[in-house]
Structure 1
């Protein structure tokens, strides 16, 4: 059966229309997180839910679904990774999943998560888990319902159906052995590092860095590495994130602390990595699979690569440190590069995930991975969640949060209904190390390039091997095509060992 081009254009038009509603809702949520008056929260929830419901109705229309099924039967002769085949396959997959969710549930989820984020933000400021708990209970109840519906007709558990939204086809029994091995290897390295008598002096990072100077410097760094400010902007919020509001409108958000330089700087590099991935997707396919990111694990690989493999490397700081001293002369002029480099690579168990070092970061993720499974599987009540959180931190990191604000309330994710999101961070860390190794092999003298501030070759390699493909390949296919081997923990552990053992003399 020949491929029906006219029908293909029709379903693409519907998908693009849905993307307009979706991106409009994203714009309102960006505004909510950056400057919306507190009293506007109730009506904002209605606005966002109306837009998301409209997008859902378009994406689950029966005529649209029938057309996708017809096209799916016609793509057999096409290259399976072509734009047309990937579009039909991706849109049909989304239709089948979304069709299982009634519009009433979508609306209630949207309202609950918009309001949930508002309640969470206030509860964290007041260090009151009790204030957040009713909203969290409602979100969990709705997500269980959604997960159960999406799992129908599949081999997925309820939790896996939620995970599938962020990391397609990922299964818990496949992730567990990878994460378990990584946890053991990391724990051994962390013990060796923390027991070493050779420790960094982090005082240079704790001096008084004016927020206005940090803003200017962070913006410059984002632009230098490749974030395009003609197609994006940098703002501030309580929890850093990246969102795309259109094919040429990427928003990245960070936060600054006057007495801790890494927070704003590395937060900006992290979000710039997300932003450069979004800016590297093909804008003419915006709203369709070839113009959309393949998975959150791959998305996270791009942010972590620029934050860590680039941003915490010695070659990068050989180039950037003189500029940092110029931006903060009183704070850094008396500190040598070696001392600064050691300080930004400190390994120390800490409370806050987004400020954790590279070695301990994944332990933060694995704690959340276990807890959110227990919540969704109804094996842990929200009443017991703060104590369970604190026990896990004591067991895995040897520390106990002094407050819920620095403990169970620190992340926005559960208030936004993002159950299944957390494991993608660790998958992203694994992919970042593996992709960086492949780029180094392909480019030959990457360290020299970084030491000269030449970032374009690395960004172009990522554009060619990751960004431009959108959803034309799966995440696992993308990694294997780019690196020549399946995703593994080997590259991340080798990267950490090679960096940390010389620094700590172990």
Structure 2
């Protein structure tokens, strides 16, 4: 009876997963290949598929299969993955039962249209043209939060979609401690002489950047037999089952690090998805049934922990550049012929507050995230209006980084997240930084073998360890459960601050 009930439930979830993967494919195309004129109809297509996925989840047949599965798993061990499958499906069923279908579809339809409007607004630094779309996004997000339900702050409901367990209050506590620790390290690092970095801004043709990006992605064990690398405005990763995991990057001809570290970042996301246990394909443990995304990672923060780990702990290390700089120099002999590996490393790890989050150094990156979370919470509770956003943004940048924002493109319009309805997702980047450092510290504590392999340019041992401890589990364990399994404790910023202090202060 148990296996029959689970099989029936998994068949229902598999259909939901199939529809969500089709939605993801349309989304990938809209961000990489689709002509701009297709935005409105593409939004409608995605909205229809999103509604179909929700309808499949809430269908009487799914509820009957879920009821039977809950009875059928009672005899299974407490840590059986089937228990997680059933519990997560029930939680998603309850979640979506609270939300009107019209609201789901309206949010989905807005995403593609709002994203197209954002792209145009960003290109011309015209925030006013984007205001109506963002106002609608905030309005629908508030309605969504009210439907889900919240007690202390409407932001709690939105954050829970991406990082279950976190709230406005818990994030405020985490960020308060981080601000103090980061500011202390930042002040000491900025007191050091600035390294040479002029060569990063020379002319680097896109073909050469792409060739080097492919090289490091392969070295990091990203499987191009189950993936590909494409170009987009804002880099992202998307998976259509474990055997089709795609990454994107962007190429800036006069700033080389954007594509190098953007590619390494998305490789980390891609490795997580490619590393999920194949047995979980098309099941709840490879599907975010609450967010309605075909995602294998257990939370956005857990996903970011892997991308930031590969971007910063691996690709932004001196060891990495001693190994790979000769290949980069060979790709760009005229631009980098007068540069050493050590000079390149010092340049790409220089501490220099800037306007753009995705180009920020490690010490200032989290300030970008924390101010966005602060703004999101204010938008959700109504204490900040959308038309007041540029002023609030610019003031926060001045407060935290001492910079005067020159235009909206380098300010409030720089990120894609709000145009896609992702209010509540920004805090997961800092959660990912903290978790990534915590996991890496635990792996290093097991012995010198990992660092020996990294020094030799062998990234398979790191990938194998992460696959065993994190990736393969998909959504089976929560973020906190994963952290306890790997590090013996819950989310802890101390390893992150220790890593940054050693790297930037010594």
1:77 counterpart SS class: coil
SS in 2 for 1:240: coil
Q: Secondary structure of the residue that 1:13 maps to in structure 2?
A: helix
TM-score, normalization: structure 2?
A: 0.96
Tell me by how many angstroms 1:239 deviates: 0.4
Report 1:44-443 matches (<5 A).
44-151=42-149, 155=151, 157-196=153-192, 198-291=193-286, 292-443=296-447
Shift of 1:176: 1.4
Alpha carbons 1:12, 1:288 under 8 Å: kept: yes
By how many angstroms is 1:169 displaced? 2.0
Q: Is the 8 A contact 1:390 1:400 kept in 2?
A: yes
TM normalised by structure 1 equals 0.96
Over aligned residue pairs, what C-alpha RMSD do you find? 1.4
Distance 2:67 2:184 in 1: 51
Structure 1 residue 79, shift from structure 2 partner: 2.6
Structure 1 residue 443 displacement after superposition: 4.7
Look up the match of 2:289. Answer: none
What is the deviation of 1:113? 1.4
Q: Does 1:496 align with 2:492?
A: no
Distance 1:7 1:74, change over 3 A: closer
1:389-428 CA-to-partner distances (Å, cap 9, x unmatched) read: 0000000111121000110000011111101100000000
SS state at 1:163 partner? helix
- Asked if the contact 1:363–1:396 (Cα under 8 Å) also holds between the matched residues in 2, the reply is yes
Unaligned stretches of 5+ in structure 1? none
In structure 1, what is the equivalent of residue 10 of structure 2? 12
Unpaired segments ≥5 residues, structure 2: 287-295
For the 8 Å contact 2:264–2:315, the answer to whether it is kept is: yes
Tell me if structure 2 keeps the 8 A contact 1:365–1:423: yes
State whether residues 144 and 376 of structure 1, in contact with CA within 8 Å, keep that contact through their aligned partners in structure 2: yes
How far residue 155 of structure 1 moved from its aligned partner, in angstroms, is 4.5
The answer to whether the 8 Å contact 2:226/2:245 transfers is yes
Equivalent residue number for residue 456 of structure 2: 452
Cα separation, 1, equivalents of 2:183 and 2:34: 42
3-state SS of the aligned residue for 1:253? strand
Instruction: Report the Cα offset of residue 271 of structure 1.
Output: 0.2
> Matched residues in 1 for 2:142 and 2:87: separation?
27
Equivalent in the alignment of 2:290: none
Task: Give 1:156 shift.
Answer: 6.2
Q: Indicate the SS of the match to 1:252.
A: strand
Which one of the candidate residues 22, 25, 33 is aligned to 2:23? 25
